[in-house]
Amino acid sequence: MFISQTATAREVMEQFRASRLRAQDAREHEQEAQREKLRDSAVQLREPNHRPSTSPANTTLPTFKIGDAKGFDFVTEPGAKPGLGNLSDDGAKNFFAAMREAAAKPDVAGRDISVAKAAKAVVTDWLAKHGLTNKHHGVVDTALHETRAQVAFASREIGQRLGLNPVESQLMGYSLERAFEKAGFKVFANHAYDATVNVFKASASSIATAAGMRHSAESTLSKSLNWMATHGVTHEALKDALAKHSGKFSVIVEAAQHPEIVQRVAYALTKSDKLMDGVMAIAHDSELRKSVGTLALAAGEDVAAVNKTAGSIAILAGSALRGDSAEDTARHAFRAGMAVLGGIAGGAMGGGVGSVFTGLVGAEIGSRLADKVLDMYDKHMGKGPHVQEHTVSRAELRESTGVVAERVVDKLHEAETRGKLPGNMASREREMEREYSMVKSLGKS
């Protein structure tokens, strides 16, 4: 408030009164808006998370290796054998038997159960190694917690041993990571499906960064989805978006960045018409690369386990689908959108135009992620937790990923001719290494 030096007492009084009235008015408006918002919302009670979110593993503490786990070479736990790591022969037999059983399961739930069995085998082995046999599970919990028990593994290595392809082994790896966390371990895991990331060396800072990124991705995701939900992007708009603009369903991927970006995307989603251009325009190359991480994380058991993130995605997807007579159409659109995004992300990660493979992989992950989200939706909307939505058939997947990959390659080619992507794999590797190890953790969002 500006009060001139020469104002009379009366003028000063007037100005004070006016400003107070303005402030009061603004407050009332705000409260009115808030009341309105509250009228349209409901409350759900939930328990706080059982395991107060797991802190990252520590690179200086002894770590139980499963297999060779290359890249985690600071491990100090004695008795690691080549090929087996710290697993005993019996433990390895049980572990791989359970994993093989898991790999044969077609559905998420069944796979998770078998993977949990595998994790259990490792727990037993770890306990036996430390002289804790046949103890009450409370004692076991405490022991794992107090000693900060850690495991390290590389999904691709385990997958190769089971005869899985890179994507499948990655999915299994995520499931395994979640299972270990549930069992009480802190986990080092390398989920790379591509030899490119073999340059990854785990350091304290890179681990902390990865953990921080995952955490902030989750929290921004929930915040962004809340934002979308409360700003009218929900029902009709999203249904429309799913049906017509599925290719631009980049909100989930972009949520890794900032809520602002998501708001931008959501806006573009409701306003713009072109399909791929939107995604390519909004997401710069580096953003895409970071989003690969998010996509992969989401494809893991973050989505399958009932947590905040999964809940919001599922509810969001659910609100789009609910009351929709052409439910299948929307589902396909959603799945296609996720596949497109996965393809873009994968393609960008591979780096070159020639890397159709990574595009395919990404598309596959995207499609599977969509399946998982839809699974979650079904569970949430009361079809019961026992509904087993089977994943897409492989032929179907090949077909759709082929299309997606083609388009991604086209787009990437275009981008490259415009000089946006470096074609050189080697420089890409170096770049990624730098990014993994030296990037500052994302800001608090």
Partner 1 sequence: MNLVDYTHPGRVPRLYLPDDRRSANYYIRLNKLPPSHPYHSIHWALFRYPEWLEGGSAWVQSKAIYDDLQRLAEAKGVDVTMLRPVVGSDDPGFDEALAQALRTFDLRPMVAEVVPRTMAMPSNPSSGA
List interacting residues with partner 1 (CB under 8 A): 31, 34, 38-49, 52-56, 208, 211-212, 215, 219, 222-223, 226, 229-230, 234-235, 308, 315, 318-319, 380-382, 441, 444
Question: Shortest approach of partner 1 to residue 312 CB, angstroms?
Answer: 9
- Spatial strand order of the sheet with 150-154 comes to 64-65, 150-154, 186-190
CB of 33 to partner 1, least distance (A): 11
Q: Are 434 and 289 in contact (CB under 8 A)?
A: no
* Between 160 and 219, CB nearer to partner 1: 219
Rounded to the nearest whole angstrom, what is the least distance from the CB of residue 322 to partner 1 in the complex?
A: 9
The closest of 197, 188, 187 to 166, measured between CA atoms, is: 197
Nearest CB to partner 1, comparing residues 40 and 146? 40
- Comparison of 12 and 439: residue with beta carbon closer to partner 1: 439
CB of 35 to partner 1, least distance (A): 9
Minimum distance from residue 10 beta carbon to partner 1 (Å): 32
CB of 230 to partner 1, least distance (A): 6
**β-strand pairing of 64-65 with 186-190:** unpaired
Tokens representing 190 are 């390398």
List helix spans (H) across 322-392: 327-350, 356-380
Query: Under a CB-based contact definition with an 8 Å cutoff, are residues 303 and 373 in contact?
Result: yes
Phi, then psi, of 190 in degrees rounded to 5: -115, 110
Q: How does DSSP assign 155-205, residue by residue?
A: HHHHHHHHT--HHHHHHHHHHHHHHHHHHT-EEEEE---SGGGGG----HH
Specify the residue, 161 or 380, whose C-beta has the smaller distance to partner 1. 380
Joined tokens for residue 407: 């388009």
Measuring CA to CA, which residue among 198, 145, 186, 184 is closest to residue 55? 186
C-beta of residue 27 within 8 angstroms of C-beta of residue 9: no
Judged by beta carbon, residue 220 or residue 400, the one nearer partner 1 is: 220
The tally of CA atoms less than 13 A away on the side-chain side of residue 44 is 5
Please, which residue, 54 or 203, has the CB nearer to partner 1?
A: 54
Tokens read off for 326: 């052409």
Residue 208 CB, nearest approach to partner 1 (Å): 8
What is the C-alpha separation between 308 and 314, in angstroms, rounded? 10
Which CB, 53 or 165, lies closer to partner 1?
53
Cα(409)–Cα(357) distance, integer angstroms: 10
Q: Is the CB of 329 or the CB of 445 nearer to partner 1?
A: 445
User: Minimum distance between the CB of residue 247 and partner 1, rounded to whole angstroms?
Assistant: 25
CB nearer partner 1, residue 40 or residue 273:
40
Q: How many CA atoms lie within 13 A of 139 on its CB side?
A: 9
> Smallest distance, Å, CB 343 to partner 1?
30
